Amino acid sequence: MPSVVHPQVPHYIHAPATQANLDYADLPIIDLSRIDTSEGRAELALQIRESMTEHGFFYVVNHGYSSSQTERIFDIADVPFTGVSDEDKQKYLATMKVTGSYQGYKLRQYWHIDGGVKDQVEHYNINKDITRRAHPENLRSFLPEIEEFAKHNHFNVLHPILRLLALGLELPEETFVNMHQYSAAGETYVRFMKYYPRSKEDEEKTKNVWLKGHTDFGTITILHSQPVAALQILTPTGQWKWVKHIPNALVINAGDSMEFLSGGFYRATIHRVVQPPPDQQQYARLGVFYFCLTDDDVKLAPLSQSPVLQRVGIKRRFSDEEAPTTEAWRRARTSAYGQSELKVAATNKNIEEEYINGVLVKHYN
């Protein structure tokens, strides 16, 4: 049988790994190859439960995607930025404020960061159903590979993690999987994202913060690790620590929706993006993500039938009756982000707040 011939694409050359002595977070590493046995699943479920309650972040290795496949998806990820003209990008803009959807381009200088400075990050978002929207001509030949990438993340990474999270709550294994159907209506999507270096003046005005501390609004975020150091997480003790690059590893974190569904048991961890260390400051930072949300009609109320939650209690952000659907929550968060007026918290001048669907959302400087 002849091998599949993929369209040619320029090879993306990453920045060299930083030599800076950074204060890295000590995050657990989950080996997904151990999930095939009942003993391995039980051990991984306990490890992920501890990871999600203590850190909200962890690494995944042996996820079924080879180093060469990872290189190829990063090559493709750069096409929307370097292979599409500025004029064509305008034809495929996302309409976040109107539709509450990120599908398409979010161009630079859309979000307000701080001190009158707007962002220097560009991203292109592709729904797991790649037919939902038209795509730039230069990206179309790569759509079959992007679709396969989405399916790999969905079935070989997301679903196994969701099964382990369900076991951690002593729920049936398919509890969360049944809320994340690949064919269902929703906004789970692949994101290619590129941060560009900023001026010295902008760095000073924003105190070197490129993206304020925040929580993701979905259930699970899957980030394919890359070498430019910029991602930091806020530890339970209030320290910002760097996330270290591990070649061909995934960086996983929980978002608000998972925190809502788990009654606060699985923590949506606050994270931010800052200027890289000096030896990487001249490089752009290319990211590849799979942002996961439940199906649009899922109500984000705590799964109170969990024996674990019955023992430890539920931390509610709203009453069960007022719990939003995923569609309502993601539309509100998407349309507001970087566009709404934030108020400084009365208790901490480094925190800004807004209410979205009656839920207090915080942004951390």
Closest to 277 (Cα-Cα) out of 228, 310, 345, 220 = 228
- Other C-beta atoms within 10 Å of 325: how many? 17
Per the CB < 8 A criterion, the answer to whether 271 and 311 are in contact is no
Residue pair 61/246 in contact (Cβ under 8 Å)? The answer is yes
Residue-by-residue pLDDT tens, the chain, 365 positions? 455 678 999 999 999 999 999 999 999 999 999 999 989 999 999 999 999 998 889 999 999 999 999 999 999 999 999 999 999 999 999 987 788 888 999 999 888 888 889 999 999 999 999 999 999 999 999 999 999 999 999 999 999 999 999 999 999 999 999 999 999 988 999 999 999 999 999 999 999 999 989 999 999 999 999 999 999 999 988 899 999 999 999 999 999 999 999 999 999 989 999 999 999 999 999 999 999 999 999 999 999 999 999 999 999 888 899 899 999 888 887 776 554 455 655 565 565 555 555 555 554 56
| pLDDT for res 1 | 45
CA-closest candidate to residue 141, choices 84, 198, 224 = 84
Kindly state the tokens that stand for 354. 């807004």
Is the distance from CB of 203 to CB of 277 less than 8 angstroms? Answer: no
Q: What is the pTM of this model?
A: 0.92
Q: What is the dihedral of CA 319, 336, 52, 168, to 10 degrees?
A: 50
pLDDT of residue 341: 55
Handedness of CA 349, 351, 355, 360 (dihedral sign): negative
Neighbour count for residue 64 (Cβ, 10 Å): 13
Q: How far apart are CA 122 and CA 252, in angstroms?
A: 21
Name the fold adopted by 29-364: Jelly Rolls (2.60.120)
Burial label for 137, CB within 10 Å (0-12, 13-18, 19+), is exposed
The residues spanned by each domain of the chain are: 29-364
